[in-house]
Amino acid sequence: MTDCIFCRIIRGEIPASYVYQDELVSAFMDIQPVNPGHLLIVPNTHASSLADLDSKLGPHIFQVAMRLAAGLRGSTVQCEGVNLYLADGKAAGQEVFHIHLHVIPRFSGDNKGAFFALRSRGHSDQKQDRDQIAASIRTSLLHNTIPEIRKE
Ligand code: 5GP
Ligand code: ZN
């Protein structure tokens, strides 16, 4: 998949604010965050949907999500709770057909509701904001003794 946006990010052709990478998955800031600190966990090898995903990746992605949720809570990000969200298929709201898990920090008063629509993501930020937040999350992950943190 040469023109897939997430494959291009993983190949380094498009910049992203990374917080984590290992041999199987990468995690970086969503470009249109629901709240500041909104992360995406993306398999390093292209898989359009859950049906295409190597079965060993499901548990690994969830394990990384748990680490990132802890990382968010220990960072400067306003994070009192976390939503994990995955859209598998167009009817489910999937827009980027390289499967990914959203890790979304939540706080009381963020006005996103329990069953928020990702389409309501209204927070506009800049690459430098995302880089700054990503650096704080990476630091928090290091304090959680999580290995394989991608360096800038
Ligand atoms: P989906 O609706 O497929 O679950 O979510 C796709 C997500 O990818 C959206 O939240 C969107 O903001 C994010 N996204 C789309 N293009 C880019 C990009 O070029 N870079 C980053 N970091 N995120 C992107
Ligand atoms: Zn891809």
- Say how far apart CA 123 and CA 24 lie, in whole Å: 29
- Say how far apart CA 71 and CA 136 lie, in whole Å: 9
> Domain map of the chain by residue range?
5-108+117-141
* CB-CB contact of 134 with 126 (8 Å): no
- Say how far apart CA 39 and CA 70 lie, in whole Å: 13
β-strand partners of 25:
43
Element (H, E) at 133: helix 127-143
- Say how far apart CA 123 and CA 147 lie, in whole Å: 30
pLDDT of res. 115: 60
CA of 141 to the centre of ligand 1 (A): 23
pLDDT of res. 123: 62
pLDDT of res. 2: 73
Residue ranges in 11-126 assigned as alpha helix (H)? 57-73
pLDDT of res. 78: 96
Strand order in the sheet with 25-29: 18-21, 25-29, 39-43, 101-106, 81-85
pLDDT of res. 145: 56
CATH of domain 5-108+117-141: 3.30.428.10
From its phi and psi, is residue 13 left (phi > 0), alpha (psi between -120 and 50) or beta?
alpha
Over the chain (152 residues), what is each successive 10-residue block's mean pLDDT? 91 96 97 94 97 96 97 96 95 95 94 67 77 95 65 49
Residues contacting ligand 1 via CB (< 6 Å): 5, 14, 16, 28-32, 87, 93-96, 118
Give the atom of ligand 1 at the shortest distance from the alpha carbon of 28: 22
Q: Catalytic residue numbers?
A: 100
